[in-house]
Structures are given as C-alpha cells and as structure tokens.
C-alpha cells in the first residue's frame, strides 16, 4: 500500500495541498496517497487518531485545528513550541506523533529566496496576531530586523503575543492599534490577517507605503488581494501573496515526513497557472 498522508481542516474543499504534494511525489519518483480530511469541528482528535491507527504516516493541519494539533502531538519541535501551533504531524518509528510548524520557515524561504529580499535591519509592520503571525514571528526575529510593530484589531491578542516573544527572544516588539499606526513608510509590511479572505480593506493609512516598501499578503488568490491592491495604489512596487509560502511550507512538511527536499519553483508556477 502507498504511504498515506492527508490535510485536515474544516472547511477543506478549497485546499491545494493534494496537488502540491502529488507534484512533490512525482519529483521523488514515489507513489504516495494524499487526501483531504474534513474533521467535524468537535471531532479533530477522533479523526486524527483514526487516520494514524489505520496506518497514516503524516498530516498537514489547517484552519481551525492548529492549536488542537499542538495539544494532540506526543512531542514537539522547538519551533512548534515557540509558535504554540502545529501544522504538521508525523508518525515516528516508535509510533509516537511529532508536531512541527513549517509555516514560519515557508514564509522566510519565500520572502528571502523566491522574492529575493532581506529582513536584516528593516522596519517591519505586521498586521494581525493570529496563528499565522505567531508562526512567522520567531524566524523574522532571527533575521535581525531593525524594528517590529504588531497591529491587531483585538489589541490584547497582539499584546499577549508580543509579551511571549519579548520574553523568549529578547526582542522588543512594539504594539499599535490600527488608529495609532505611525504614519511613515515601513520597509516590509505583512498582512497576516484574514481580511483578504473576506475581501475587506484594512483601516491602514496610505502613508505607510513608498516605492521601497515590500508588501506581503499571507493570503493568496487568483486575483490581486485587497491589501496588495491598496499597497500598489499607494506606491509599493514589490508585492507578493502567500502562494509561495504555501508551497514552501508544504515542501518543509514533505521533507520532515520523507527526508526528500522538493523543488518548489516549478510547483509554485504550476499552481499559479491553475488558479487562473
């Protein structure tokens, strides 16, 4: 029987993960079986236990189960412990389940390798304080930015996240409400909210962009996201959506499961074409 993998979420119909992983398997010249699992909102543990009991080797975890996956894992990688979320589960040789998060590494690889930009000594504005932002904060800090400002609609969520990272990483993260965002251009502005999913425009001033600003939306879609549209309209020349991050985080998961590092460029280009 082919090795069994799946992505678990709710909803899950939209997921591109099976297409991405089947391209990775072609590169490895191996036959894997990768499916989508829609777990009931109150049935994550049962769905996942059953999958592994029936011989499953690895899972990707998506909205809204990343915190539950963190609790489900028997052991955690350091980066998963740091972010408080798990997007990858792996059955180990002794039968125990390892939890990891590959979102942060996926983001960094896309930004630095695919987008050919840097973080070192940059001023960074991050919008949102949910699971995705928690996963990208540690690797951003590790790349030595000049400053990080965290903005969230629910301010105490941003405060809690910043406090946790300020303690762990000894890097001061500044907190701001949308109304109080400092009206000067930032080098890198990351939209880590789900506002683009809802096709909403964020209440951000247009003065935070200039021609040197790199605007990155973790969300991706066939057409330009509202955040990136606003960024371009206000001067940002360099922009990217989260498709590259999606493929890069999947490649990191694939490596964790199978010790094979897939080529990502061709996969990003193929999925981009399929979105059209």
Cα separation, 87 vs 58, whole angstroms: 11
DSSP line for 181-234: --SS--SEEEE-SSTTTTTPPP---GGG--TT-EEEES---SSPPHHHHHHHHT
Closest CB to ligand NDP among residues 187, 252: 252
Q: What number of chain residues touch ligand NDP (CB under 6 A)?
A: 29
Closest CB to ligand NDP among residues 92, 200: 200
Residues 185-204 that bind ligand NDP (CB under 6 A): 192-198, 200, 202
How many helices, marked H, and strands, marked E, lie in the chain?
10, 12
242 in contact with ligand NDP (CB under 6 A): yes
| The Cα angle at residue 93 between residues 88 and 94, in degrees rounded to 5 | 105
Cα separation, 268 vs 157, whole angstroms: 32
Q: Which of 15, 83, 249, 253 binds ligand NDP (CB under 6 A)?
A: 249
Q: Which residue is nearest to ligand NDP (CB)?
A: 130
156 in contact with ligand NDP (CB under 6 A): no
**Catalytic residue annotation:** 66
Beta bridge partners of 190: 126, 216
Residues 55-74 that bind ligand NDP (CB under 6 A): 63
Summarize as ranges the residues that interact with ligand NDP (CB under 6 A).
63, 103, 106, 128-133, 152-154, 157, 192-198, 200, 202, 218-220, 242, 245-246, 249
């Amino acid at each position: 029987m082919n090795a069994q993998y799946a992505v678990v979420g709710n909803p899950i119909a939209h997921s591109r993960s099976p297409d991405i992983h089947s391209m990775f398997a072609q590169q490895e010249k191996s036959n894997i079986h990768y499916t989508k699992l829609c777990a009931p909102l109150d049935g994550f543990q049962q769905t996942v236990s059953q999958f592994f009991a029936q011989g499953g080797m690895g899972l990707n975890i998506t909205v809204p189960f990343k915190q539950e996956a963190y609790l489900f894992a028997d052991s955690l990688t350091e980066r998963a412990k740091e972010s408080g979320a798990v997007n990858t589960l792996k059955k180990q040789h002794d039968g125990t389940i390892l939890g990891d998060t590959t979102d942060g590494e996926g983001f960094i690889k896309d930004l630095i390798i695919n987008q050919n930009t840097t973080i070192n000594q940059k001023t960074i504005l991050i919008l949102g304080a949910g699971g995705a932002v928690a996963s990208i904060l540690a690797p951003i800090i590790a790349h030595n930015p000049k400053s990080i400002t965290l903005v969230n609609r629910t301010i105490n969520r941003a405060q809690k996240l910043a406090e946790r990272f300020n303690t762990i990483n000894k890097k001061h993260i500044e907190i701001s409400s949308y109304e109080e965002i400092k009206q000067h251009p930032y080098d890198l502005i990351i939209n880590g909210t789900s506002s683009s999913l809802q096709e909403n425009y964020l209440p951000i001033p247009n003065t935070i962009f200039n021609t040197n600003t790199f605007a990155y939306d973790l969300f991706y879609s066939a057409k330009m996201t509202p955040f990136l549209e606003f960024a371009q309209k206000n001067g940002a020349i360099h922009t990217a959506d989260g498709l590259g991050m999606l493929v890069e985080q999947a490649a990191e998961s694939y490596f964790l499961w199978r010790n094979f590092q897939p080529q990502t460029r061709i996969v990003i280009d193929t999925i981009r074409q399929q979105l059209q």
